Amino acid sequence: MFNEARQRPLEAIPPVEEWGDSLRIAQDHDAMHYVDHQPGSWFLVEQQGSLLLEARYWRNSMVDSSALVRLDEAESEAYRTGGHGYLSDLVRRIDKSRPHTEDSPYFQRDLYRGTDGAALTKSFAAAIVNHTWIAEQRRRT
């Protein structure tokens, strides 16, 4: 029975404005929202007009991690013009810069390193929950 429930396809959730009260609508406005992703490489979310990119990088052949970077104005514009391809190139640059080291220009920009890293991790996970690999597998059954 558990396996059947786990494999049940997810249904689309109507916009919060159709069912939420004013508090829930306000919470949704402040939340992160999924925009795009490249499986196994990156996710892009939007929060209050800012674009946040979670870029997967590899420390070595056995350890990988992710950095959450708020796109600056130039990067956001490059995404608007270059789309998915631009972000894939940016993630390759982030990975090559070794963002886990202080020498990387992305080390200080990694929002996960800040004092609210745990809260950002939770918010980000909530934003992408329906776009992960496991969610994709559920939709296929």
| pLDDT tens per residue across span 70-90 | 999 999 999 999 999 999 999
Separation CA 28–CA 75 (nearest Å)? 25
Q: How far apart are CA 66 and CA 105, in angstroms?
A: 15
Amino acid at 29: H
Predicted pLDDT of residue 61? 72
Q: Could you tell me the end-to-end alpha-carbon distance of the chain, in angstroms, rounded to an integer?
A: 15
Q: What is the pTM of this model?
A: 0.77
Does residue 2 sit in helix, strand or coil? helix
For residue range 17-39, what is the model confidence (pLDDT) as tens digits?
677 677 766 666 677 889 999 98
3-state SS class at 134: helix
